[in-house]
Amino acid sequence: MEAGSIVLGLVGKTNVGKSTFFAAATEVPVKIENRPFVTIEPNVGVGYARKRCAHVELGLPRCDPVNSLCIEGWRFIPVKLLDVAGLVPGAHRGRGLGNRFLDDVRKADALLLVVDASGSTDPEGVPVKPGSYDPVEEVGLMLGEIYEWMLQNLARDWERFARRVDTAGNVDLVTALSQRLSGFEIPRGVVAGVLEETGLGEKRLSSWSREDLRLFVKLVLERGKPAVILANKVDVPGAEENVERLGSSYPGIPVVPASALAELMLRRLAREGRVRYIPGDPDFTVKDPGGLGGKALKALELVRERVMKRWGGTGVVQAINTAVFDVLDMIAVYPVEDPNRYTDREGRILPDVILVKRGSTPRDLAYRIHTDLGKTFLYAVNAKTKQRVGEGYRLQDGDVVKIVAAAGKR
């Protein structure tokens, strides 16, 4: 299954539950232990955003998903997840495992910043009594590490770079800085926007002060690698108050309360047929209470009380949804060949769903499917209204569209 084009990077302090989240979301078994620096080599896998499937809205009895999954009317849309080594304060100066591991998340479109909302790990990831460490501080430290990492990269050999750009004359700043940041996959529009907004675009690079450079990196990071705070371990008593403080401490960054451990447990038991649980559901049911041991039943009841009832779900799918649909502002569209039957050439109903940025046109979608289709795009048919739509049309969430191109076949 193709993982689509969205990449989410799990970053944060060591021993907070990044790999647990990864294992729960991707169902790929990875090493999880209660000690710092368990993960060294990055884990790459496929997780899913969840949305009502278009077949439900269209009143169709079913669909035939190919690039995604549909479970009881919920479409699960693949996104790539990266789980990397943890950070400790001072990682940018080489402490702990250093922050070269952040290099693994250069390709991430957004970051899931995992923090221990229960405060049961110290800054070095060593287990401590719950509530003895402040996750608000943890977020600040981790954002600081990520920021220093980018600043260090950009500032390396800065003077020489600035002189070269200034004297070259015909190089524009947006291009030069975008190229310099190319390893971070920062959209060009972000660089251009920050230069304009700060007025830095008017200044020669060699006259930028250290503060100018810092401001530039701060804003580029905020917009080019937007984050969601995953407040993990909310199953631990005492986490609640921390979740609230996290929410008010970082305006502009959404906070999703989560228990990666609960999701991991529910998925395992659902696979084994012992509970009924669809990832992202607000609750679950135990199928065979007799077959489960007393310990497991007790753990499940704790999950129900402390996680599902209090927070409305485990937060794992919710965090992916928040990153994809809120922070990255993506919408889901369904390309088809036959707009009357909503099928592809093989007669499969709504086989594929594709994530595109809100505001995308049918031609943008055509490019996403295939470069040739984008180049030879003529018009599209909105399968819901059966109307022809052109380049002036902005795709809407849940749209089903047929692309008509000059090449015909692809």
Ligand X SMILES: Nc1nc2c(ncn2[C@@H]2O[C@H](COP(=O)(O)OP(=O)(O)OP(=O)(O)O)[C@@H](O)[C@H]2O)c(=O)[nH]1
**Contacting residue, 221, 236, 317, 373, with ligand X by CB under 6 A:** 236
Alpha-carbon gap, residue 261 to 133, rounded angstroms: 20
State the nearest-atom distance from the C-beta of 318 to ligand X, in Å. 13
Binding residues with ligand X: total (CB under 6 A): 22
Q: Which of 124, 337 has the CB closer to Mg ion? A: 124
Restricted to residues 78-97, the positions that interact with ligand X (CB under 6 A) are 86
Q: Which of 18, 180 has the CB closer to Mg ion? A: 18
**Choosing among ligand X, Mg ion, none, which partner's interface includes residue 178 (Cβ < 5 to 8 Å by kind)?**
none
Restricted to residues 250-279, the positions that interact with ligand X (CB under 6 A) are 259-261
Does 49 contact ligand X by CB under 6 A? no
Q: Are 97 and 37 in contact (CB under 8 A)?
A: yes
Q: Which residue is nearest to ligand X (CB)?
A: 86
**Site mask for ligand X (CB under 6 A), range 192-231, x = bound:** ----------------------------------------
State the nearest-atom distance from the C-beta of 265 to ligand X, in Å. 10
Q: Which of 123, 374 has the CB closer to Mg ion? A: 123
Phi/psi for 387 (5° steps) reads: -95, 150
Alpha-carbon gap, residue 8 to 322, rounded angstroms: 11
Q: Which of 124, 222 has the CB closer to ligand X? A: 124
Q: Which of 43, 382 has the CB closer to ligand X? A: 43
Q: Which of 239, 336 has the CB closer to ligand X? A: 239
Alpha-carbon gap, residue 13 to 302, rounded angstroms: 26
Q: For the purposes of burial, counting CB atoms within 10 Å of the CB of 171, is it exposed (0-12), middle (13-18) or buried (19 or more)?
A: middle
Alpha-carbon gap, residue 313 to 234, rounded angstroms: 11
Q: Are 8 and 104 in contact (CB under 8 A)?
A: no
**Choosing among ligand X, Mg ion, none, which partner's interface includes residue 259 (Cβ < 5 to 8 Å by kind)?**
ligand X
**Site mask for ligand X (CB under 6 A), range 11-30, x = bound:** ---xxxxxxx----------
Q: Which of 43, 343 has the CB closer to ligand X? A: 43
Residue 153's closest CA among 105, 114, 201?
A: 105
State the nearest-atom distance from the C-beta of 18 to Mg ion, in Å. 5
Q: Are 377 and 366 in contact (CB under 8 A)?
A: yes
Q: How many other CB atoms are found less than 10 A from the CB of residue 98? A: 17
**Choosing among ligand X, Mg ion, none, which partner's interface includes residue 148 (Cβ < 5 to 8 Å by kind)?**
none
Beta strands, E only, 310-374: 330-336, 354-357
State the nearest-atom distance from the C-beta of 345 to Mg ion, in Å. 43
Alpha-carbon gap, residue 219 to 191, rounded angstroms: 9
Restricted to residues 12-71, the positions that interact with Mg ion (CB under 5 A) are 18-19, 38-39
Dihedral (C-alpha) 115, 117, 118, 123: value to the nearest 10 degrees?
A: 40
Q: Is the torsion defined by CA of 236, 261, 129, 132 positive or negative?
A: negative
Sites of contact with Mg ion (CB under 5 A) = 18-19, 38-39
Sites of contact with ligand X (CB under 6 A) = 14-20, 32-34, 36-39, 86, 232-233, 235-236, 259-261
